[in-house]
Chain A
């Protein structure tokens, strides 16, 4: 951070706490989450900095950060936080807020992956990995990374050319529909 970020009211903190159920306000910047974060070196803001930006109400900085999509949900921060803040849960809440508010993302790979993964679950009841990987690569215009691994994965029986559909696929589609209804409730 090179420029100072002014306090912008407590609205963001309140909303993040309400959505995540985590007491983000209790963070006293000990940085234990950041020192143990495996992805820290790749992040634009460390987890403790995300907590501080939430305190400050810096909505744009937080929701348009790369960090919230780079978080691998490994739960090391949540496990170690001396104030028992579910930091990984906060990252989930921030991702959901970024999508809800149509935030322009610096890198949409995470969003696209989640969308395509869940689309596969909705269609088949289970993830069809081969179809999901192809759809993700088409969507992100990334056709050539990891293609070297596909023949070997097919030979090892790790990818199948046809989906294995769950017999409960109708039930799963109904669950997606009702969950969307619940999420739309105020």
Chain B
């Protein structure tokens, strides 16, 4: 099983933990990743809000590089994933968009490179049985709120590997890791995404709403699969508490960090040091009672 890996800009900086944990988990599960050589930014929201032609051409430049390598693409960042899938959708369905994109990039492209999110690869390509077989340290007793956010499941004509309103793939992964996914109603509510830069008050309000609900649902932590979700929910907890009322800080991990622990990988290799609200306590050996986590010892 081999993929061309598109890390995206956030994975080099604010989402470094997502980068190292994704690579570590894939290595442990036998998924070979070959980074797209000299990959470039997908353009993200600033491109699609500024220029239609740029918003398709920037992702396609990377898809053409993957096509040259003859590999399907795996993406970790939910926003990059949505942009790459959207570009493929446009090139496949709008002949004028395809012609314009080929004029801009100077190379042919038919929209044929498969683009999958790491969650999709883990659950639908590798499969839950393959993961269960490799769990070395089941996370029994750990209660986890799976937060999917916006772009992993929306819009369904473009992303479509899980249900748009009630996705379950991350819950299934959490269960495969031996932990307990909690039922909660805000799985796909938005965290405010890049408004974090321009209107941080909006993000604090949304983070407060989401984190309070996760608490009410009895979660010990949240897991996410998007750099913007992670930063907005982890880094803004103090702001959210100050603006909207105090709550107990709650760790927000990447799903690949949680899975890495269950696979028996050392937390030093999974980017735990990059979390603002520390999560070590969740997995501390012999300190199980703190969060009702009984599976700490392997």
Contact = CB atoms under 8 A, between A and B. Distances in A.
A75 B193 contact: no
Interface stretch (B46-54, B109-117, B124-132, B256-264): B46-54
Contact of A125 (B13, B40, B53, B188): B40
Interface stretch (A9-17, A24-32, A54-62, A149-157): A149-157
A98 B199 CA distance: 19
Interface string B98-117: 00100111100000000000
B164 interface: yes
Interface string A150-186: 0011001111100010111101101110111011000
B38 A167 contact: yes
A171 B61 contact: yes
A76 B194 contact: no
Interface in B124-179: 149-151, 154-156, 164-165
Given A70-B195, A79-B156, A118-B47, A168 B38 contact: yes
A159 B50 contact: no
B232 to A, nearest CB: 10
B41 interface: yes
B40 A73 contact: no
A96 B235 CA distance: 31
A2 interface: no
A110 B202 CA distance: 13
B190 interface: yes
B9 to A, nearest CB: 4
A183 B16 CA distance: 35
Q: Which one of B50, B155, B197, B202 has the highest number of Cβ atoms from chain A below 10 Å of its Cβ?
A: B197
Contact of B50 (A42, A95, A171, A174): A95
A72 interface: yes
| Most chain B CB inside 10 Å of its own CB: which residue of A21, A74, A99, A183 | A74
A72 B14 CA distance: 19
Nearest to A36: B189
Nearest to B47: A118
Contact of A127 (B9, B151, B235): B9
Contacts of A73: 45, 48-49, 150, 193
Interface size class of A (residues with CB under 8 A): 35 or more
A159 B198 contact: no
Interface in A110-125: 110, 112-115, 117-118, 121, 125
Contacts of B194: 72, 113
B14 to A, nearest CB: 5
Interface in B10-51: 10, 12-16, 37-41, 43-51
Contacts of A69: 198
A35 to B, nearest CB: 13
Contact of B43 (A72, A76, A121, A164): A121
A58 to B, nearest CB: 21
B76 interface: no
B12 A164 contact: yes
B276 interface: yes
B190 A96 contact: no
Contacts of A44: none
A179 B51 contact: yes
B154 A70 contact: no
Contact of B154 (A78, A91, A156, A158): A78
Contact of A175 (B10, B54, B193, B276): B54
A76 B200 contact: no
Question: Which 3 pairs, one residue from A and one from B, show the smallest C-beta to C-beta distance?
Answer: A167-B38, A74-B190, A114-B46
22 contacts: A38-B189, A42-B205, A72-B190, A72-B194, A75-B150, A75-B155, A79-B165, A92-B52, A95-B50, A96-B51, A117-B44, A118-B50, A121-B40, A129-B10, A130-B13, A146-B200, A153-B14, A158-B274, A166-B40, A178-B104, A182-B53, A183-B52
Interface of B: 9-10, 12-16, 37-41, 43-54, 57-58, 61, 94, 100, 103-106, 149-151, 154-156, 164-165, 188-190, 192-195, 197-200, 202, 205-206, 235, 273-276
Interface of A: 19, 21, 38-39, 41-42, 69-70, 72-76, 78-79, 86, 91-92, 95-96, 99, 109-110, 112-115, 117-118, 121, 125-127, 129-130, 133, 136, 145-146, 149, 152-153, 156-160, 164, 166-169, 171-172, 174-176, 178-180, 182-183
